[in-house]
Amino acid sequence: MRRKGALFAGVAAVAVIGGGTWAAVNSDRQGGPEPGATAAPPPATAEITRTDLVDSESVSGKLTYAEERKVSYTGSGTVTAVPAEGKVIKRGGALLKVDRRPLVLMYGRLPLYRELNTAVSDGPDVEQLERNLRALGYGDDLTVDDDFTYATSAAVKEWQKDRGLPQTGAVDAAQVVFLDGAVRVAGVSAEVGRRINGGEVLTVTGTRRIVQVDLNTDDQALARKGARVAIELPGGKEVKGRIVRVGTVAQQVSAEEGGGSTIDVEISLGGRKTGRLDQAPVTVAMESERVEDVLTVPVEALLALREGGFGVEVVEGGATRLVAVETGAYGGGRVEITGDGLAAGMKVGVPAS
């Protein structure tokens, strides 16, 4: 949204370029019409509306996936299989294979920080494992709780047999990785044929699409958590989003990239179809200003008056009259106006489209 001082040049352009015959009829060669003057009906009309005016500023972002993280392998051996980038792996799937044995994804927030077997103390990590075993179809007689019992061990052995793992009845971090949910493979650092002894092997993300914006700290007032935004995707399609996270720590930008500092802004796209491109550039329109409950007309409805300022041509039945107006904020092609006798629902002249 911009204030009236920035509006004058645009209105002049509308009067000269957009007005056509109507502008010629309703303007005076010496400076424009006077308020109250009448003329032939305009070629088209638009309605005065009472609404909120919203203006936005466009910033650059990228279409990507939420919750990027690294996956580490704690064992040792030769990498025999890795997933393709972009592959989605769900519960029970192999993140990679070492010595032909899979590192299996299970769901949970608690990392596997100890070997789980019949000798361990009770804990939420046991319950997390048992919940996954049941979800994968193992341990019909298993009670899901924090106690690692012989029934748990039996279910683990059955699962290990099906996955080609040694049937020990115990689970450690060389067999299972717990993550929040299904993941998408963003990068593979392990190479087939290479011997590894622990370390990072994959970069994964969640499956939820987001837009990530590195917002200049000078513009941080644009980013309000919960605010709606419009996103233009590659190809020109526009979708709506909502700001779900605004970073609080500024990141310095290198001199080669222009300097300054930015904050990270994350925008959720919900379940909308956005394609499968990763790191694709997008344009995000963020609300920069809003005025509420004001009378508005299309910008092209304004006419320059002889004595200065602007007016609108009110159309009432077959008659017209020119009303001087004060302009205020504008945005989205409309401008705020105030003037004697103006009300929502009235018709004003505009150029023919």
**Residue pLDDT, tens place only, 214-265:** 999 888 889 999 989 999 988 888 889 999 999 988 888 877 777 789 999 9
Q: What is the pLDDT of residues 42-101, one digit of tens each?
A: 889 999 999 988 888 899 999 999 899 999 999 999 999 999 999 999 999 999 999 999
| Arithmetic mean of pLDDT, 320-348 | 92
Which architecture does CATH list for 4-55+291-350? Answer: Beta Barrel (2.40)
Whether residue 143 is predicted with pLDDT greater than 80 in this model: the reply is yes
CA dihedral 327, 329, 348, 37 (to 10 degrees): 10
pLDDT at 331: 80
**69-205: which CATH number, 1.10.340.30, 1.10.101.10, 3.40.228.10, 3.90.550.50?**
1.10.101.10
- Reply yes or no on whether the pLDDT at 35 is more than 70: no
Tell me, what DSSP letter sits at residue 120? S
Predicted pLDDT of residue 284: 93
| Residue 189 scores a pLDDT above 60 | yes
Give the DSSP letter string of 28-70: -TTT-PPTT---SPPSEEEE-EEEEEEEEEEEEEEEEES--EE
For the chain, the domains span: 4-55+291-350, 58-65+210-288, 69-205
Q: Does the pLDDT of residue 185 top 60, yes or no?
A: yes
Percentage of the chain modeled with pLDDT above 70: 87
Measure Cα distances from 335 to 143, 173, 248, 302, 332 in Å. Answer: 67, 63, 35, 9, 8
Confidence band for 183, pLDDT divided at 50, 70 and 90: very high
Q: What is the mean predicted confidence (pLDDT) over 304-326?
A: 92
| pLDDT at 278 exceeding the cut of 80 | no
pLDDT higher for 348 or 238? 348
- Closest by CA position to 112, among listed 82, 72, 76, 147: 72
CATH architecture of the domain with residue range 58-65+210-288: Beta Barrel (2.40)
pLDDT, average across residues 286-299: 90
pLDDT, mean over the chain: 86
